Chains A and B, each alone.
Chain A
Amino acid sequence: MNYFPDEVIEHVFDFVTSHKDRNTISLVCKSWYKIERFSRQQVFIGNCYAINPERLLRRFPCFKSLTLKGKPHFADFNLVPHEWGGFVQPWIEALARGRVGLEELRLKRMVVTDESLELLSRSFASFKSLVLVSCEGFTTDGLASIAANCRHLQELDLQENEIDDHRGQWLSCFPDTCTTLVTLNFACLEGETNLVALERLVARSPNLKSLKLNRAVPLDALARLMLCAPQIVDLGVGSYENDPDSESYLKLKAAIKKCTSLRSLSGFLEAAPHCLSAFHPICHNLTSLNLSYAAEIHGSHLIKLIQHCKNLQRLWILDSIGDNGLEVVASTCKELQELRVFPCDLVGVGDTTVTEEGLVAISAGCPKLHSILYFCNQMTNAALIIVAKNCPNFIRFRLCILEPNKPDHETSQPLDEGFGAIVKACKSLRRLSVSGLLTDQVFYYIGMYANQLEMLSIAFAGDTDKGMLSVLNGCKKMRKLEIRDSPFGDKALLADVNKYETMRSLWMSSCEVTLSGCKRLAQKAPWLNVEIINENDNNRMEQNGHEGRQKVDKMYLYRTVVGTRMDVPPFVWIL
């Protein structure tokens, strides 16, 4: 099979970086499997309980970068108790023991402790990059260890983590010799920031490309920082309030003009909207704009800013932009590829929000749009049908109508036909979230047409098991299926047990699945972990009597090669 020496093949493999492709390569033959495993540099583990660190090390002894994901997606919405699991500590311990030359660690929805961060910082001399997304369990003390001990740190990227801010001096823990920073993102820290330490750090980091500040960095500090780092590409503004005539503001305007490499703007965690005009001169360079935390930026100031952003590819915004604002986006941002519209008002009936009209306008005006996340108050089938016609290239389509079970607000019909049109037209659709009033029919369409679908999120939808069965039978590429508050039960769950071997995970909460159904599944499929999460009642459900027929509140199942996990908390029962 091999006409070339191993080194040559390995060199060829170096050009293949996607983990999916490398997985495929490794299946070609034993020889390629062997070469591939020793040359794999980046390992991606989508579910930290599907495998354990020991087996990881045995298969890939030479990797340098590890990506780990812990809790299931619905943990983002408080559906998974905090102590469920996803601890990174055992991984770091194992990698340290195994003397892995770890350079990069990327974690999502995992529990990270200060102890873990300290161990990480001391165990890997070449460590360069730490990216934490939606993690929790650590404090700024842990960050101090990273700052102090990672001599070659290039990237410290903290995205939307719950970090206990001890208001310490973690920024001053970067030694004076640290000049290698490329990315520094601490926007999610709540506490005060040592501005002097920050400015000195930025000043001695000539390679700094991405800087995202937290709320505690005021406008005058921002001006000084930007003057130190005119090479900045990605900027997250912290606090942005000031009197527009003040000296700092003028300084800021001058500094911004020098930042000709700036392509991505975010933050404005506290903002005086009338100061936004300082950014107008560089707006035409922007490809990414994230104003989804800027609750105070709306109305005419927002519109004016957007009108300058003709080259935007990615826009994250709040629904206070309104349909009118979206029409401005549609007419200005012809290069737009990804749009996310988040709800401003989460408590009750909102003031300005967006409707189906905004979505239609965007679909008509932005031909390159392929990813959308859209929270809105109302939707119609007619609008979705038009959107499908305008944008057949959707890869990700996530629509969330704020009120569960809401029908087409013009016809009062379910939204089956609208979503059906989307899946029919968008042949490359990989991710879909549905909402509103939906019957089994929409799942029939999804099963029939969504051939590339990998992730599906369902809430308050469907009528019978047939709905879920349509999806399980039809979507051959399904990897992650998450369902809540829908009437799917044991019949659908048990119909094709082998299907779950082709999927990463299945989440079902507040559905019709019973304990005996889950038990039967666990029996038939020993290579699955079937977890019952029952936070109300630490006692096993058996003890309450009515054993089998009792409905399971939360079930999470996933394929695994290492069996039951050892760190199960008392309220989780693995069948």
Chain B
Amino acid sequence: MEKVGVYDDELVNLKATELRLGLPGTEEKVSCGKSNKRALPNDTEKDIESTGKTETETASPPKAQIVGWPPVRSYRKNNIQTKKNESEGQGNYVKVSMDGAPYLRKIDLTMYKQYPELMKSLENMFKFSVGEYFEREGYKGSDFVPTYEDKDGDWMLVGDVPWEMFVSSCKRLRIMKGSEAKGLGCGV
């Protein structure tokens, strides 16, 4: 079947050594914005080829967006979005870094309603496990500790304050690992 060009067959064969944006283990759709890539439909077409059945993905927020899709006039998009933002609060993007990871990520805190959702998303994004949160002792059972920098510039443990307070004061997130984490995370 003549689908897209030669390049895609090569991609299928060399997927493991493929250079991509994103950390190993993340299977993210590339936004077809400023480049000639058509990653989204190609990905799904490959799925059809291999499984004979396209699975609808359970999208974890936030979803990467395709330029010009859905086909809604930009005027309409701007006006509906403004209203949603006004009623639900502005989209709040913060940087997320993880010790040892080459790239930072960015997430929109308004996409989550509570801590567990946020933690799950971070765990998926960086492929780690955060352990269990205890009010007094912080996170136990893992080398990784999620921290955030608040409005005052202090580094705080994620989970200590009510969610709304966290969302409004969080400037950036950092997932600490190893010895540095011990000091903050485990039983101060």
What is the interface of chain A, defined by CB distance below 8 A to chain B? Answer: 74, 76-79, 134, 160-162, 188, 269-270, 292-293, 295-296, 318, 342-349, 375, 400, 402-407, 409, 412, 433, 437, 457, 459-460, 463-465, 484-485, 487, 510, 512, 536, 551, 553
Across-interface contacts of B92 in A (CB, < 8 A): none
Q: Which of B23-57 contact A (CB under 8 A)?
A: 32, 34-36, 38, 40-41, 44-45, 53-54, 56
Tell me the complex Cα distance, A345–B72, Å. 11
Across-interface contacts of A318 in B (CB, < 8 A): 80
**CB-based closest 4 A-B pairs:** A77-B68, A160-B75, A76-B73, A405-B44
Of the listed stretches B81-89, B93-101, B118-126, B159-167, chain A binds B81-89
| B111 on the A face (CB < 8 A) | yes
| B16 on the A face (CB < 8 A) | no
Task: Contact check, B81 vs A346: say whether CB atoms are below 8 A apart.
Answer: yes
Interface SS, B side? loop
Of the listed stretches B1-9, B139-147, B176-184, chain A binds B1-9
Across-interface contacts of B102 in A (CB, < 8 A): none
Task: Contact check, A77 vs B74: say whether CB atoms are below 8 A apart.
Answer: yes
Task: Contact check, B4 vs A487: say whether CB atoms are below 8 A apart.
Answer: yes
Task: Contact check, A510 vs B71: say whether CB atoms are below 8 A apart.
Answer: no
Task: Contact check, B75 vs A188: say whether CB atoms are below 8 A apart.
Answer: yes
Q: When the two chains form the complex, which single residue of B62, B67, B70 contacts A79, counting CB atoms closer than 8 Å? A: B67
> Which residue, A344, A404, A457, has most C-beta atoms of chain B within 10 A?
A404
Tell me the complex Cα distance, A487–B4, Å. 6
Q: Give the Cβ gap from A413 to chain B, nearest Cβ, in Å.
A: 9
Decide yes or no: A407 and B68 within 8 Å by CB, A346-B77, A463-B1, A463-B2 being known contacts: no
Q: Which of B94-119 contact A (CB under 8 A)?
A: 111
Task: Contact check, A400 vs B76: say whether CB atoms are below 8 A apart.
Answer: no
Across-interface contacts of A487 in B (CB, < 8 A): 2-4
Q: When the two chains form the complex, which single residue of B35, B54, B63, B71 contacts A76, counting CB atoms closer than 8 Å? A: B71
Decide yes or no: A348 and B84 within 8 Å by CB, A77-B68, A403-B56 being known contacts: no
Q: Give the Cβ gap from B69 to chain A, nearest Cβ, in Å.
A: 7
Cβ contacts A to B, 14 pairs, < 8 Å? A76-B74, A78-B68, A78-B74, A160-B76, A295-B84, A346-B80, A349-B63, A405-B45, A406-B54, A433-B71, A463-B2, A484-B68, A487-B4, A512-B5
Task: Contact check, B41 vs A536: say whether CB atoms are below 8 A apart.
Answer: no
| B66 on the A face (CB < 8 A) | yes
Decide yes or no: A536 and B34 within 8 Å by CB, A160-B75, A270-B83, A342-B76 being known contacts: yes
| B79 on the A face (CB < 8 A) | yes
Task: Contact check, A405 vs B54: say whether CB atoms are below 8 A apart.
Answer: yes
Task: Contact check, B62 vs A348: say whether CB atoms are below 8 A apart.
Answer: yes
> Which residue, B41, B53, B54, B76, has most C-beta atoms of chain A within 10 A?
B41
Tell me the complex Cα distance, A510–B39, Å. 11
Decide yes or no: A293 and B67 within 8 Å by CB, A348-B111, A409-B56, A460-B41 being known contacts: no
1/0 contact trace for B147-186 toward A, CB 8 Å?
0000000000000000000000000000000000000000
Task: Contact check, B59 vs A349: say whether CB atoms are below 8 A apart.
Answer: yes
What is the interface of chain B, defined by CB distance below 8 A to chain A? Answer: 1-5, 32, 34-36, 38, 40-41, 44-45, 53-54, 56, 59, 61-63, 65-77, 79-81, 83-84, 87, 111
Decide yes or no: A464 and B2 within 8 Å by CB, A78-B67, A344-B80 being known contacts: yes
Q: Give the Cβ gap from B1 to chain A, nearest Cβ, in Å.
A: 6
Decide yes or no: A346 and B72 within 8 Å by CB, A407-B54, A512-B5 being known contacts: yes
Q: Give the Cβ gap from A341 to chain B, nearest Cβ, in Å.
A: 12
Across-interface contacts of A460 in B (CB, < 8 A): 40-41
The residue of chain B having its C-beta at the shortest distance from the C-beta of A462 within the complex is B3
Tell me the complex Cα distance, A536–B119, Å. 37
Across-interface contacts of B65 in A (CB, < 8 A): 347
Tell me the complex Cα distance, A39–B72, Å. 39
Tell me the complex Cα distance, A342–B45, Å. 27
Q: Give the Cβ gap from B45 to chain A, nearest Cβ, in Å.
A: 8
The residue of chain B having its C-beta at the shortest distance from the C-beta of A349 within the complex is B59
Task: Contact check, A459 vs B83: say whether CB atoms are below 8 A apart.
Answer: no
Across-interface contacts of A296 in B (CB, < 8 A): 83, 87
Across-interface contacts of B54 in A (CB, < 8 A): 405-407, 412, 437
Q: Give the Cβ gap from B43 to chain A, nearest Cβ, in Å.
A: 9
Task: Contact check, A348 vs B77: say whether CB atoms are below 8 A apart.
Answer: no
The residue of chain B having its C-beta at the shortest distance from the C-beta of A74 within the complex is B68
Decide yes or no: A348 and B69 within 8 Å by CB, A293-B79, A296-B87, A463-B2 being known contacts: no
Q: When the two chains form the complex, which single residue of A269, A405, A510 contacts B36, counting CB atoms closer than 8 Å? A: A510
